[in-house]
Amino acid sequence: MNNPLLEPFEQAPFSHIQPSDYLPAIEELIAQTHGEINQIVRNEDTPSFENTIEALAYSGAQLNRATDIFFNLNSAETNETIQKLAQEISPMLADFKNDLLLNEALFERVKTVYDQRAQLSLTPEQNMLLEKQYKGFSRNGANLSEANKTKLRKIDQELSKFSLTFGEHVLADTQAYQMHLTDETQLKGLPEGAKEAAAQTAQEKGKDGWVITLDYPSYIPFMKYAQNRELRKELALAFGARGFQKNENNNEDVILQIVQLRHQRAQLLGYQTHAHFVLAERMAKTPETVTEFLNELLEKAHPAAQQEFDELEAYAKEKDGIDRLEKWDGAYYAEQLKQEKFDLDDEKLKPYFQLEKVIAGVFKVAQKLYGLQFDETNSVDTYHPEVRTYNVTDAEGFEVALFYADFHPRPGKRNGAWMTSYKPQQRIHGKNERPHISIVCNFTKPTASKPSLLTFNEVTTLFHEFGHALHGILANTTYPNLSGTNVYWDFVELPSQILENWCYEQDTLALFATHYETGEIIPQQYVNKIKESAAFHEGMQTLRQLSFGLLDMAWHGQDPSGIADVKAFEDAAFENTQLYPKTPETCMSTAFSHIFQGGYSAGYYSYKWAEVLDADAFEYFKQEGIFNKEVATQFKDQVLSQGGTKDPMELYISFRGKEPNPEALLRRAGLLKKSS
């Protein structure tokens, strides 16, 4: 049987893979990897770094590549068949992971090397690999009794299934809803581009008029611009009710199962809670540190947020007689107020942010900072015609990476934006194998009359994901499991968030922000206004992010066995960050994919944590010049290329010369003066 996933391949062979190939290939590759592990275990030579630790780091390469392809497709191009397969494949992989981590003979070999580490003259990277592998076993049940190992296996199997189910429910509820409008007056206030996109969506669905969906490029403009308050309310409630309706996609019980299982797992492994387990391997180290960090920021941000909210409520009352500002009013009146204050709105800016030019701009930034060249190629196999591919080379013309980009929403693609990898960077057999990196986004689609024109928020999202991509592209380590974004979770957002800063700089905007029809460079007054408005409602934005971090810690930082009502629990967690009136029909947790489907459980705080790092790091760039080659080379050599080879704070200090100063974030957000 010819199965492309079982043949050696350099680039992912998307067009040759049938859905029916995945299950047999992954079963076979699991068996092959078991064989590789058995070879390590049965080696009669004394356990050494090379024959145990290194051999383990390079094992399962083909299995990892096949599963990366499968799970990336399950996010970016899924269907019922793929989703059913995921429900079969995930428990198999959970089992396999446990076979590895609970293998006593293998752990014995790892422990033998670990116990001798002081005598081995290892490099810092080798030391980090050894420590990571030893902890991987000890933190995941290697020291458990047989009975508890069996319990752990069962928990991990169930968790993998519930996590997939959670994501499927959110996607199903997102796609089940559509607001079909046939009266043009209902679209009053909506920009022409958004109306045209809604008409195009209706046409695609075989309907007259306009269709608004819960996909971000459709949902956000409607919430921002539509004058019809009742329709905004309907849309906001539908968005907030994903996973919370009385239908087959309800996630309330799924959440309770997930948090219970995570807690049981942590306790089994000797940790107080899931948060204690997770944070032991983060920069923050403990739940207490995280909670203190979030509450300290909350104390600084809350007065500013309250002030901004009161001003917005007064503005809505004066403008339209709104007595009580509701959640479905926030984006609309904030946009109106922002336009009045700064004479600036997305519709004025969008013509200067044509997707093609923004892509060229972000590539130009990478070239100026790191000497990278991106050349589009049509010879790379992709999973969808919309996916674009680029060969990445350095200033000398040497291959650095292969880069995939997938920009627009479509059925079968989950909301949001993310970076992922199809092949890791590693040094093996004397060769530095270069990575295959991908970003996936959901940006405004082109219409019949206009190219894809981005909101400024979409521009910063593209820079954010591209920052993650650079972390992968510039990876330069020996071992695949220390390469690129394989770093502590609260450090992983530094490369992405720091790149967003360039979007606010005149020197950057001059590279790509030209009018799609006239070619005129973005006017200086718009650049000034973008910078002026950067801190607009920063208090409320900060409060929102902190509320998500605190909710995450509430779910994972305590014994959840007493929680019976998801909504009531969430309301209590939001108590100190609540500005808008409560809406009983909606629930954040039931669609909080970051923590219940992605990898952010007990880690959502890391966005704010990394913001402290990125604000401090960017102050250094600003001081020396945002395209200063010396500073950029330091950032590349000390942070981007190093992956997880050293402790993150060590990497940061070697770049910056000191620990980060939290006041840099407060300065940038304009919260120092507001809260003092």
pLDDT tens, residue by residue, 265-320: 999 999 999 999 999 999 999 999 999 999 999 999 999 999 999 999 999 999 99
Which residues lie below 8 Å from residue 205, measured CB to CB, with a gap of 6+? 178, 211
Average of pLDDT values for 637-647? 97
- The structural domains of the chain, ordered by start, are 14-143 (1.20.1050.40), 177-240 (no CATH), 351-486 (3.40.390.10)
Marked catalytic residue, from 158, 465, 493, 570: 465
The token duo for 673 is 């003066």
For the record, the structure tokens of 348 come out as 């004025």
Can you give the pLDDT at residue 673? 57
Q: How far apart are the C-alpha atoms of 505 and 508, rounded to whole Å? A: 5
The stretches of 513-662 forming alpha helices (DSSP H) are 524-532, 538-556, 566-574, 593-596, 606-624, 629-635, 648-656
For residue 276 the two structure tokens come to 């204690």
Q: pLDDT value at position 674?
A: 42
d(CA 78, CA 370): 35
% the chain with pLDDT above 90: 93
Q: What is the pLDDT of residues 601-614, one digit of tens each?
A: 999 999 999 999 99
Placement of tokens 């001081």 in the chain: 623
Give the dihedral of Cα atoms 63, 64, 69, 74; nearest 10 deg.
100
* Residue 667 clears pLDDT 90, i.e. is over it: no
Beta strands 399-406 and 436-440 are parallel
User: Which residues does residue 354 pair with via DSSP β-bridges, in sequence order?
Assistant: 453
State the SS3 of 355-374.
HHHHHHHHHHHHHHHHCCEE
3-state helix, strand, coil in the chain (%, to 5): 60, 5, 30
- C-alpha to C-alpha distances, 367 to 371, 398, 448, 484, nearest whole angstrom: 4, 14, 33, 19
Cα(36)–Cα(50) distance, rounded to whole angstroms? 14
Contact between 577 and 547 (Cβ < 8 Å): yes
* AA letter at 595: I
pLDDT at 433 > cutoff 60: yes
pTM for the whole thing?
Answer: 0.89
Query: For 31-36, what is the mean pLDDT?
Result: 98
Task: Give yes or no: 10 in active site.
Answer: no
pLDDT tens digits along 560-614: 999 999 999 999 999 999 999 999 999 999 999 999 998 899 999 999 999 999 9
Are 107 and 136 in contact by the 8 Å Cβ rule? The answer is no
Place of tokens 């000034």: 528
418 sits in which H/E element: strand 418-423
CB-CB contact of 246 with 453 (8 Å): no
Average pLDDT, stretch 444-451?
Answer: 91
